[in-house]
């Protein structure tokens, strides 16, 4: 099982290990306490001591997590989003540690000690976490510095038409409807951009979440549905997109929603917490959503991380990315009683796109993890989902979002930016264009594994819309 976000700064204060105070004199996360005698420490002399690195931590209990290291000098260095408090980088030593105080007043130290480097940008070593000096978690890690892929420039086959930074916060997702782009920005609410002329796009409005967190948006008519971390679903009237009018939050059920999809008169909301369910609403009257079912995908075990993270409905089929439970296909002919038809469990699934390519019904699935990649599935027979292809770039960079348009798949590939794939032959997806959006020098880089291009939308107006966690709204156009 992958223990995602366990090592992130957002949860560090809540991590208690239950150690007693009699361990306070131990210092098992200091460099001197870590046995590196079997390591090829001389190889560490070649390690680049700058830049942003993605890391994969494998713990001894079989779990693990991903994160990032920022090896800037001075006060800018960070590990897992935490400021580095001890740093030793010499010809035979690579050691970084960060200390924080948890809610119980204990000192928690995260430590990375290099063992060997196979290249100046590839590193392996030991990971430890200690509470008041006593060992709490331990394992190994792999690290890779983030650089452009060999042989690539800034772009090929795609040009950037417009870039619009958010006034505050970080973009989480987007949807484009009626000449307007709606971009949720977590605790900062959402922002509205007039994209009727993409080259002259401009920000025109915003919605305030109060004390909530907004993560996704969907539009039906003049109603904007917003995925809410605290209330499940918020509704806005966007008859005048420049002045969104808050209608209300549907606090029954009060759950976290992370992804939305509209199909006809139905709205589907992926809710990973606290129960692990898909909420299905009748939105025949968009301003009056009616809950018709709280769908728990058959067989999934939410307590084991098998929770819905993304949803897409096509006709009478519902496709759900269920994280470690994989992609599921359910019959929603009767929305109040969905029925599981089949699933594909080959790896984690964070996002899914579905459509017809040629005469085949295909689902494209991607996970968020070290070595996660794109999987192409033939879902014509849901009871017998078949993998027919895949696409990989490099293990240290993950995928966040997908959009299918005709025989092209548009991929928001985090630090690998925008990737455009020809999937007319689904067995061999072929990259035909790219744009490297990630820049190490942008503000906010090096905090998380999940940085870079994080959404993509292809509404059919000749442009590709995407968001970047640091750069905001990006509008592209494919070139001959």
Q: Where are the domains of the chain?
A: 12-145, 155-478
The pLDDT, as a whole number, for residue 25 is 53
Give the Cα separation of 150 and 148 in Å (integer): 6
155-478 is a CATH 3.40.50.300 domain? no
pLDDT in tens, 354-365: 999 999 999 999
Query: Measured between alpha carbons, how far is 345 from 468 in angstroms, rounded to an integer?
Result: 29
| 458-468 pLDDT per residue, tens | 999 999 999 99
161, two tokens = 């038409």
**Structure tokens that stand for 275 in this block:** 């129960």
Structure tokens, 34 = 């870590």
HSE (side-chain half, CA atoms, 13 Å) at 416: 24
Q: Which letter, b or e, does each residue of 41-78 get, where b requires 16 or more Cβ atoms within 10 Å of its Cβ?
A: bebbeebbeebbbbbbbbbeeebbbbbbbbbbeeeebb
Instruction: Output the six-digit token pair for 23.
Output: 């361990």
Q: Which residues contact 66 (CB under 8 A, 6 or more apart)?
A: 4, 54, 55, 56, 57, 369, 370, 398, 449
* CATH class of domain segment(s) 12-145: mainly beta
Residues in the chain with pLDDT values less than 70: 1-25, 73-75
Contacts 24+ apart (CB under 8 A), 191-196: 191/166, 191/167, 192/238, 192/241, 192/242, 192/244, 193/164, 193/473, 194/241, 194/242, 195/463, 195/465, 195/475
Q: Dig out the tokens for 299 from the structure.
A: 């067989």
326 closest CA partner among 353, 308, 303: 308
Contact between residue 247 and residue 236 where contact means Cβ atoms under 8 Å apart: yes
CA distance 268 to 270: 7
Q: What is the pLDDT of residue 2?
A: 54
Q: What's 148's DSSP letter?
A: P
Whole-model pTM: value is 0.94
Question: Largest Cα–Cα distance of the chain, in whole Å?
Answer: 68
């Amino acid at each position: 099982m992958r223990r995602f976000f366990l090592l992130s700064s957002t949860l560090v204060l809540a991590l208690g290990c239950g150690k007693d105070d009699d361990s306070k004199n131990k210092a098992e996360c200091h460099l001197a306490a870590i046995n590196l005698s079997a390591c090829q420490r001389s190889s560490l002399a070649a390690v680049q001591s700058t830049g942003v690195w993605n890391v994969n931590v494998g713990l001894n209990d079989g779990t693990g997590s991903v994160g990032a290291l920022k090896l800037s000098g001075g006060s800018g260095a960070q590990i897992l989003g935490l400021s580095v408090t001890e740093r030793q980088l010499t010809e035979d030593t690579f050691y970084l540690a960060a200390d924080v105080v948890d809610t119980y007043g204990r000192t928690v130290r995260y430590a990375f000690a290099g063992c060997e480097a196979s290249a100046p940008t590839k590193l392996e070593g030991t990971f430890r976490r200690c509470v008041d000096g006593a060992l709490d978690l331990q394992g190994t890690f792999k690290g890779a510095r983030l650089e452009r892929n060999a042989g690539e420039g800034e772009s090929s086959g795609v040009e950037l038409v417009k870039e619009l930074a958010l006034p505050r916060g970080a973009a989480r997702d987007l949807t484009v409807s009626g000449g307007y782009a709606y971009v949720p920005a977590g605790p900062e609410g959402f922002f509205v951009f007039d994209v009727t002329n993409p080259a002259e796009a401009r920000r025109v409005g915003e919605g305030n979440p109060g004390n909530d967190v907004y993560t996704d948006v969907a539009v039906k008519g003049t109603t904007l549905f917003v995925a809410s971390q605290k209330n499940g679903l918020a509704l806005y009237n966007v008859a005048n997109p420049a002045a969104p009018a808050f209608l209300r939050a549907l606090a029954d059920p009060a759950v976290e929603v992370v992804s939305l999809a509209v199909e006809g008169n139905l709205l589907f909301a992926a809710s990973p917490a606290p129960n692990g369910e898909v909420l299905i609403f009748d939105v025949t009257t968009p301003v009056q959503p009616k809950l018709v079912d709280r769908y728990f995908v058959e067989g999934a075990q939410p307590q084991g991380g098998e929770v819905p993270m993304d949803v897409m409905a096509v006709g009478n089929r519902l496709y759900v990315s269920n994280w470690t439970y994989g992609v599921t296909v359910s019959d929603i002919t009767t929305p109040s009683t969905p029925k599981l038809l089949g699933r594909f469990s080959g790896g984690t699934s964070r996002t899914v796109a579905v459509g017809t390519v040629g005469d085949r019904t295909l689902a494209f699935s991607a996970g968020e993890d070290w070595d996660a990649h794109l999987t192409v599935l033939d879902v014509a027979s849901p009871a017998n989902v078949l993998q027919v292809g895949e696409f990989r770039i490099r293990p240290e960079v993950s995928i966040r979002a997908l959009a299918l348009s005709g025989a092209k798949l548009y991929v928001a590939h985090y630090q690998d930016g925008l990737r455009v794939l020809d999937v007319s032959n689904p067995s061999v997806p072929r990259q035909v264009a790219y744009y490297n959006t990630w820049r190490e020098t942008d503000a906010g880089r090096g905090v998380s594994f999940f940085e870079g291009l994080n959404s993509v939308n292809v509404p059919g107006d000749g442009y590709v819309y995407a968001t970047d966690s640091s750069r905001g709204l990006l509008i592209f156009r494919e070139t001959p």
